[in-house]
Amino acid sequence: MMDVNQGRMCIRERNAKDRRSTMNINRSAVERAAKLIVGGKLVAFPTETVYGIGANAFDEKAVAKIFLLKGRPASDPIIVHIHGESQMHEVARDIPSLAMDMARAFWPGPLTMILWRNPRIPENVSSGLPTVAVRLPNHPVAIALLVAAGVPIAAPSANLFSRPSSTVGRHVIEDFGSTLDLVLDGGEATLGIESTVVDLTGTVPTVLRPGGLTMESLREIVPNVRVRSSYVSEQRASSSPGMLLKHYSPRAKLLLFSGDHEERVLEEMVAKAMELRAEGARVGVLATSDQSIEFSDRAFSVFDLGDKEDTNSIARSLYDGMRRLDSEQVNYVLVSAPRQHGLGLALWDRLYRAAEGHIIFID
Ligand code: TXA
Ligand code: MG
């Protein structure tokens, strides 16, 4: 693990799979980060899903700085991270037994639960809602930081508002430069896609954001869980904000193709790419390995997401792909929609938002 202060950073990316066994935690960096958090400063840190920008969740002023730094609307609430089940009570109240069952089944891991907010958590964390989002991340650096700080840490994803999330330390630096007090670098996020957000304050447990914990796994413990299907428009204030379209997106316009026949979809993508280039546009493609071949000899910017069946690998590389194509200054990013099962549901959701809710259907 590396750390950076005031933008000086030496990045060493590790293979995500190696990390669990080989990660040595830089204790002094973690201690420094914890002191900064307790002192009201902001620190970026790795989790297994994506990097977060953390502040002491009890410190209203520190939390306010997160919104400013990210350019995040005050109406979009923040997840509070904890290091153990016992800490849930510092953050939430009237915790249902289902939440404890879910915690035991899925924590540490990519599950965020919406519970009733403990008044110790300032209102701005939850954008004035009576609820709070709580997660116990599965990452040794995040846990070490939470333990050392001794306070719950409010942390949104470490990206500028509406930009793709950060899955390596380099992405955090790209977005924030030296404006952060410290970045803990824990290499590449093993999952690469945000947590699944489940609301437990209504009559039926409801997924507000599909994520790294799949519906299939969730249903094993919560058979009646449902997915909120409608997406809230950006204009409308709502009891579950943050579900805005135009989110997680590259600067380029993202064109999302979908259809039952893969070859037809690919044909249309190639045709569209050629057409846009003929108009003088720079065209990027987020392609699965089988699709890459079709684009590679045609002078498009192609980012290979990996095997189309391997949604884990696609999830790990999706945001990096968006960011890399942006750095090549493409005007368009073409991508095909994954199937909506397993991790594919979360991937689909992020692409749908990045495409601002527009899908190009191919018969
Ligand atoms: O994996 C993750 O969840 C990462 C890592 C850093 O933990 N965090 C993350 O945070 O993705 P963020 O801020 O980018 O997304 C938090 C989501 C938003 O959709 C927000 O609206 C929702 O959680 N959320 C937070 N508090 C909520 C609440 N009280 N009620 C409803 N939704 C809430
Ligand atoms: Mg985010």
From the CB of 78, is ligand 1 less than 6 Å away?
yes
From the CB of 194, is ligand 1 less than 6 Å away?
yes
Query: What is the rounded average pLDDT of the residues 166-182?
Result: 94
194 CA distance to ligand 2 centroid (A)? 8
Give residue 12's pLDDT: 30
331-347 confidence digits (pLDDT tens): 999 999 999 999 999 99
**pTM value?**
0.92
The band of 296, judged by pLDDT with boundaries at 50, 70 and 90, is: confident
Q: Torsion angle, CA of 136/139/142/144, rounded to 10 degrees? A: 100
215-246 confidence digits (pLDDT tens): 999 999 999 999 987 554 333 334 444 455 67
Ligand found nearest the CA of 240: 1
Ligand found nearest the CA of 52: 1
Query: What is the rounded average pLDDT of the residues 113-128?
Result: 98
Give residue 350's pLDDT: 95
Give residue 136's pLDDT: 98
pLDDT at residue 357 is higher than 80: yes
CB 78 within 8 A of CB 63: yes
Higher pLDDT, 238 or 97: 97
pLDDT at residue 356 is higher than 50: yes
Give residue 6's pLDDT: 33
Please name the residue whose Cα sits nearest to atom 15 of ligand 1: 156
266 CA distance to ligand 1 centroid (A)? 34
From the CB of 80, is ligand 1 less than 6 Å away?
no
Best mutation site among 49, 69, 78, 79 for ligand 1, i.e. most ligand atoms within 8 A of its Cβ?
A: 79
Higher pLDDT, 282 or 15: 282
Give residue 245's pLDDT: 64
From the CB of 162, is ligand 1 less than 6 Å away?
no
24 CA distance to ligand 2 centroid (A)? 27
157 CA distance to ligand 2 centroid (A)? 4
Query: What is the rounded average pLDDT of the residues 298-324?
Result: 95
1-20 confidence digits (pLDDT tens): 444 433 333 223 333 333 44
Query: What is the rounded average pLDDT of the residues 314-336?
Result: 97
46-76 confidence digits (pLDDT tens): 999 999 999 999 999 999 999 999 999 999 9
pLDDT at residue 142 is higher than 80: yes
Distances, alpha carbon 94 to alpha carbons 13, 26, 131, 151, 226, in Å? 42, 37, 11, 20, 22
Give residue 250's pLDDT: 87
Give residue 241's pLDDT: 44
From the CB of 75, is ligand 1 less than 6 Å away?
no
The band of 112, judged by pLDDT with boundaries at 50, 70 and 90, is: very high
From the CB of 240, is ligand 1 less than 6 Å away?
yes
Query: What is the rounded average pLDDT of the residues 98-109?
Result: 98
Residues 6+ apart with CB under 8 A from 336: 256, 257, 258, 262, 265, 266, 269, 288, 291
From the CB of 208, is ligand 1 less than 6 Å away?
yes
From the CB of 133, is ligand 1 less than 6 Å away?
yes
70 CA distance to ligand 2 centroid (A)? 10
Give residue 19's pLDDT: 42
The mean pLDDT of the chain is: 90
Give residue 248's pLDDT: 83
Q: Which of 25-29, 114-118, 310-314 has the lowest mean pLDDT?
A: 25-29
pLDDT at residue 299 is higher than 90: no
CB 334 within 8 A of CB 255: yes
Ligand found nearest the CA of 209: 1
Considering the chain, what percentage of its residues have pLDDT values greater than 70?
Answer: 89
Give residue 234's pLDDT: 37
From the CB of 138, is ligand 1 less than 6 Å away?
no
Best mutation site among 47, 82, 194 for ligand 1, i.e. most ligand atoms within 8 A of its Cβ?
A: 194
